Amino acid sequence: MTESTVSWPDSREFWRDKSVIVTGGTGFLGSFVVKKLEEKGAAELIIPRSRDYDLRDISAMRRLLHDVLERPHVHPSDVIIIHLAAHVGGIGANRAHPAEFFYDNIMMGVPLMHESWKAGIGKFVALGTVCAYPKFTPVPFKEEDLWNGYPEETNAPYGLAKKMLLVQSQAYRQQYGFNSIFLLPVNLYGPGDNFDLENSHVIPALVRKCIEARERGDDHIVAWGDGSPTREFLYVEDAAEGILLATERYNDSEPVNLGSAFEISIKDLLETIVRLTGFNGRIEWDTSKPNGQPRRKLDTSRAQRLFGFQSTTTFAEGLARTIQWYESVEYPGNV
């Protein structure tokens, strides 16, 4: 069955009576999800801030749900929670703080789904991570391979904490009939990403490194590993669209990949970024640093079949937008 043979429900009709809680709604991915929800006409958006509701604290979760559900016009069955809040970072941050990545993510997720079920929430959308896949998963990664091995060690605590939401989703659907779904996005990138060199992911880290080296006139940059690993990247706006299509159209607890089906080596990625940023120095590879998982590329056919999602932004286009955004924020005089 292809998307062209499916009659999907009207998007604006779905959202017009929904109150949507978006945890992490002010973050990188969350800001794009919120913008699309506004465009789709969601009846009400609730974006809890960490200063008001620390989602690692179960009492704060209960207070959040109480504050939303006590409103006279809100019925629990019309409330959707899109859980995007997470403690995330690159290889270096995961190696330095594995306990925090495990604890924070499991405590922000598992109790929230439990409290949502107790409160009668209509739907819970949980975001997993490609880091949940086994280290040596056959490429392309298929959802049925999720349990065929241990994740890559450098980010296993994070990946396994997020993976528990899949176990919970399936268990709560089986025992309670609770409607929750579990999505597995590949590495995201785009404007508004975290460009902090200490805890950012690979694309923003390399973009910043190249631009700063260009501005200083450095003759080289140092990159981790040997450049051989491959990665798949999904443009953040496409990811937001995939999440909302799944929210509208998918009601099952089998995991679903969200990706672009485009794979590139870290070596080719860095050489592309060097060219697009205008850095003229050489690349030195520090092979004492870890490569991370050898390959990452998802099978995205399930998302297309079950809720009609397919990424539309080419990698070249998305990368150019990302670099342009960072330049405009950090070096506006150069743009």
How far is Cα 23 from Cα 46, in angstroms, rounded to an integer?
Answer: 8
Return the active site residues. Answer: 158
Helix (H, G, I), strand (E, B) or coil at 9: coil
Residue type, 289: K
The conformational region for residue 83 under phi > 0 = left, psi -120 to 50 = alpha, else beta, is: beta
**Whole-model pTM above 0.85?**
yes
Q: Say if CB 78 and CB 46 are below 8 A apart.
A: no
DSSP string, 75-138: -GGGEEEEE-------HHHHHH-HHHHHHHHHHHHHHHHHHHHHHT-SEEEEE--GGGSBTTPP
CA triple 12-35-238, angle to 5 deg: 90
pLDDT for the residue 5: 57
pLDDT for the residue 236: 98
Helix (H, G, I), strand (E, B) or coil at 289: coil
* Domains of the chain: residue spans and CATH: 3-190+233-262+295-313 (3.40.50.720)
Q: Walk along the chain (335 residues) and give the pLDDT tens digit of each residue.
A: 444 457 787 888 999 999 999 999 999 999 999 999 999 999 999 999 999 999 999 999 999 999 999 998 899 999 999 999 999 887 788 889 999 999 999 999 999 999 999 999 999 999 999 999 999 999 999 999 999 999 989 889 999 999 999 999 999 999 999 999 999 999 999 999 999 877 778 899 999 999 999 999 999 999 989 999 999 999 999 999 999 999 999 999 999 999 998 999 999 999 999 999 999 999 999 999 888 878 889 999 999 999 999 999 999 999 999 999 999 998 876 66
